[in-house]
Amino acid sequence: MAERPYVIDQMISAKAIAARIEALCRDIKAEFPKDERLVVVGLLRGSFVFIADLVRELGDRDVEVDFLEASSYGNATESSREVRILKDLRGEIEGRNVLVVEDIVDTGYTLSHVIHLLSARRPKKLKTIALLDKPSRREVDFRADWIGFEIPDEFVVGYGIDYAQCNRNLPYIGKVRFT
């Protein structure tokens, strides 16, 4: 698929993202016991910037980081609704506290599929957090436990989120306008 020309308009600033992560981590710290290790599972690739900032903000916690790669988009701007696991966890989660970190919940297919998969591995507690949520696009009855920002049905990039593998490096969330 050839990329179409586009421009990016800032939607959510880096400063607003940092402030929201600080608030979210207060809630996460209250949910999970301080004396128990927390396994933070990042859904690749879009969550890698978000997960890095989250684990730094968790600070004094014993945090283990693992990654799972699931895909329903490829290089497209619309979900295929077929979720494929491209990379599974390296560690075990049975009997452990797990926080799954997603960049954006759109149709809900990916996160719903991943939670079903991980629940079968019998974690002690399994919670989800998403930086962005597009509830108007939901096709599966699923809502993350914590949401950074609810956004309208716009195609966005930045802060780890890409368009055809570009723009992940932007420090803010931007709306893509095709020209």
* Residue 1 in this model has a pLDDT that exceeds 50: no
Tokens coding 139: 């096709």
Q: How far apart are CA 68 and CA 126, in angstroms?
A: 15
* Confidence band for 2, pLDDT divided at 50, 70 and 90: low
Q: What is the pTM of this model?
A: 0.91
Extents of the domains making up the chain:
15-25+36-153
146-158 b/e (C-beta count within 10 Å ≥ 16 → b):
bbbbebeeebbbb
Query: pLDDT tens-digit profile of 146-176?
Result: 999 999 999 999 999 999 889 999 999 999 9
Q: Is 106 a catalytic residue?
A: yes
Query: pLDDT tens-digit profile of 66-105?
Result: 999 987 755 555 555 778 889 999 999 999 999 999 999 9
Q: How far apart are CA 94 and CA 110, in angstroms?
A: 21
**pLDDT at res. 160:** 96
Q: How far apart are CA 68 and CA 112, in angstroms?
A: 14
* CATH 3.40.718.10 is right for the domain spanning 15-25+36-153: no
**pLDDT at res. 4:** 82
**pLDDT at res. 164:** 86
Indicate the average pLDDT of the chain: 92
* Confidence band for 65, pLDDT divided at 50, 70 and 90: very high
Which of 106, 133, 141, 153 is flagged as catalytic? 106
Tokens coding 100: 């799954």
**pLDDT at res. 177:** 94
| Cβ–Cβ under 8 Å, residues 149 and 122 | no
